[in-house]
């Protein structure tokens, strides 16, 4: 099976824009939580979110809406970081993007404006499909390889990375731009408010008194390359994408299987494809939403996976810093794992007070130094969708 090198990273987030600032935000255990500015939250009980830090957006007509513009910025950084310019023929490079809402903000805006004017607008055809993001990136960068959009809710990021890796392993592409982007939307904010899933204070994953999640926003992209091709062109290699697993709870549309069945199956499948034993995992980037049911389910699944080795593995939730970035979560948390492996640290779970499980190390409040040979990252979603990925260290400087 062909090996997959991670050679480029690009990110926009609430704790730092650009790979370097994002890394510093992780190392400093920075919180991205702040007052919501994307829309008026006066009538909402929750006023906080984790929005992308302010950044100038492109004005060109080539970008159909704000979420595409943010995707472009992060994608371009990843491509420059990898030094991918003119390395491969256009048909050798593909795009695999994750999202849950795509250009929903533009769709609502355009529909409302045109409805009020009593007119239709053909430009809606550009804004309605969520596939517009992947198509726009392919068109702008002139990539003519495989093009895919994944919308399996909050598991989409992990799925998009796995699909991108499969395209390379199957010989359909030599390199893939993989990642995710989602807007900070009134629709998702309203939906999670109605579900009473949002924390009235700050999200506190794996705390005994956790009380909900914080919604976040991000654009996160990585460059995957066939390992031999990356080595041949002397590309920078951060880490290796080793495998992924997907499953479904088949339990409930919004609630996870309390026994963690889907979570355990996806983690086990990812490790099997990666040819990594559970006892060799050093770090788990948990889904870790901070909701009572998810964290309880996930810790059970992790303990079932690790068995007697559960006390020797460090587990943290990036959502304590970044909020829940929905379809982007699996992609940006893969970047967290990649940077942690490369720079030899364990990311923290911030806002940590009273642990819900004294058997497990949740890396409370501050990062810690340490080598990570293998990292496992989880993304679980509405509809029972579960996805897990494995990233490993590559020997060398």
361: its two tokens: 């190390």
In this prediction, residue 106 carries a pLDDT of 62
- State which H helix or E strand residue 376 sits in: strand 374-380
* Active site residue ranges: 154, 287, 324
Asked if residue 103 has pLDDT above 70, the reply is: no
pLDDT band at 66 (very low <50, low <70, confident <90, very high): confident
In this prediction, residue 58 carries a pLDDT of 81
Asked if residue 49 has pLDDT above 80, the reply is: yes
pLDDT in tens, 152-174: 989 999 999 999 999 999 999 99
Q: Contact, 373 vs 283, CB < 8 A?
A: no
In this prediction, residue 124 carries a pLDDT of 57
Better-scored residue on pLDDT, 28 or 195: 28
pLDDT band at 1 (very low <50, low <70, confident <90, very high): confident
pLDDT in tens, 15-48: 999 999 999 999 999 999 999 999 999 999 999 9
Angle separating helix axes 156-169 and 329-343, nearest 10 degrees: 70
Mean per-residue pLDDT of the chain: 91
Please give the Cα distance from 324 to 20 (Å, whole number): 21
Instruction: Average the pLDDT over 276-294 and give the result.
Output: 96
In this prediction, residue 253 carries a pLDDT of 79
Neighbours of 140 (CB within 10 A): 17
In this prediction, residue 112 carries a pLDDT of 56
Domains defined for the chain, CATH in brackets: 4-392 (3.40.47.10)
246: its two tokens: 């997907």
Asked if residue 282 has pLDDT above 50, the reply is: yes
In this prediction, residue 278 carries a pLDDT of 95
Q: Contact, 186 vs 215, CB < 8 A?
A: no
């Amino acid at each position: 099976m062909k090996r997959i090198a991670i050679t480029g990273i690009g990110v926009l987030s609430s704790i730092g824009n650009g790979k370097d600032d994002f890394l510093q935000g992780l190392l400093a255990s920075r919180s991205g939580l702040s007052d919501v500015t994307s829309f008026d939250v006066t009538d909402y009980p929750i006023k906080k979110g984790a929005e992308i830090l302010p950044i100038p957006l492109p004005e060109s007509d080539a970008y159909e809406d704000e979420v595409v513009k943010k995707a472009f910025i992060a994608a371009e950084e990843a491509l420059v970081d990898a030094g991918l310019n003119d390395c491969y023929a256009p048909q050798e490079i593909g795009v695999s993007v994750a999202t849950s809402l795509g250009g929903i903000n533009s769709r609502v805006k355009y529909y409302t404006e045109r409805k009020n004017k009593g007119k239709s607008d053909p430009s809606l055809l550009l804004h309605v499909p969520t596939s517009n993001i992947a198509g726009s990136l392919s068109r702008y960068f002139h990539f003519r390889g495989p093009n895919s959009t994944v919308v399996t809710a909050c598991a989409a990021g992990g799925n998009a990375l796995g699909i991108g890796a499969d395209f390379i392993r199957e010989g359909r592409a030599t390199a893939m731009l993989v990642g995710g982007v989602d807007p900070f939307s009134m629709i998702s904010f309203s939906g999670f408010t109605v579900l009473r899933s949002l924390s009235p204070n700050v999200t506190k994953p794996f705390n005994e008194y956790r009380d909900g999640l914080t919604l976040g926003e991000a654009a996160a992209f990585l460059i995957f390359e066939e390992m031999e091709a990356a080595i041949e062109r002397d590309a920078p290699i951060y880490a290796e994408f080793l495998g992924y697993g997907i499953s479904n709870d088949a339990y409930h549309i919004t609630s996870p299987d309390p026994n963690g069945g889907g979570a355990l199956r996806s983690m086990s499948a990812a490790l099997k494809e990666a040819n990594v034993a559970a006892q060799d995992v050093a770090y788990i980037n948990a889904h870790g939403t901070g909701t009572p049911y998810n964290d309880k389910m996930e810790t059970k699944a992790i303990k079932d996976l690790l068995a007697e080795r559960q006390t020797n593995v460090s587990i943290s939730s990036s959502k304590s810093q970044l909020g829940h970035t929905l379809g982007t979560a699996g992609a940006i948390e893969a970047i967290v794992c990649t940077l942690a492996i490369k720079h030899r640290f364990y990311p923290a779970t911030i806002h940590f007070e009273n642990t819900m499980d004294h058997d497990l190390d949740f890396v409370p409040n501050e990062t810690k130094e340490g080598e990570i040979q293998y990292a496992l990252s989880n993304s679980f979603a509405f509809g029972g969708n579960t996805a897990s990925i494995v990233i490993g260290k590559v020997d060398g400087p």
